[in-house]
Amino acid sequence: MAVPRCLRAVTFAVAVAGVCVGPGCASFEGARLYTSGTEALDRGEPAVAVDELQRAATLLPEASEVHNHLGLAYQAAGRPGEAESAFRRAVDLDCDNAAAVENLRVAELRAARRAAQENAR
């Protein structure tokens, strides 16, 4: 029996579809933070996006989409190392998340270029 290429996490839709009791439900709040963080990123407010997506990732630690968007927010905030880590976490959670796979590939290429430039100095 072949071992799966990756362990798949609960998809974002399933992660937030759990039973929610009361307004303080973690999955509901995580989904709200994911949405507002993504909107902040779209508005060009990376600091706000990082804050909200970090909180979403804490509430929804198995949601690949949240970690991928957190990586985009870190990237927009000029934090490439943290972006690469967030993309790696997203891919670890769901290796079929094509956007996260591509974002990780690009982040790794950028890191290799930065390292080469540092070594050339």
Whole-number Å distance between alpha carbons of 83 and 105: 12
**What is the predicted pLDDT for the residue at 20?**
55
Tokens describing residue 87: 């993309």
Read off the pLDDT of residues 8-33 as tens digits, 9 standing for 90 and up. Answer: 433 444 444 444 545 557 899 999 99
Measure CA of the first residue to CA of the last residue in the chain; give whole Å: 50
The whole-number average pLDDT for the span 55-68 is 97
Residue 104 and residue 87 in contact, taking contact as beta carbons nearer than 8 Å: yes
Q: What one-letter code names the amino acid at 114?
A: R
Q: Which CATH superfamily is domain 12-16+24-120 in?
A: Tetratricopeptide repeat domain (1.25.40.10)
Read off the pLDDT of residues 96-109 as tens digits, 9 standing for 90 and up. Answer: 999 999 999 999 99
Residue 43 belongs to what H/E stretch? none
Residue 8 phi/psi, 5° resolution? -90, 135
Domain coordinates in residue numbering, the chain? 12-16+24-120
Residue 101 and residue 84 in contact, taking contact as beta carbons nearer than 8 Å: no
pTM for the predicted model, two decimal places: 0.81
Helix or strand or coil: residue 91? helix
Tokens describing residue 57: 């990732």
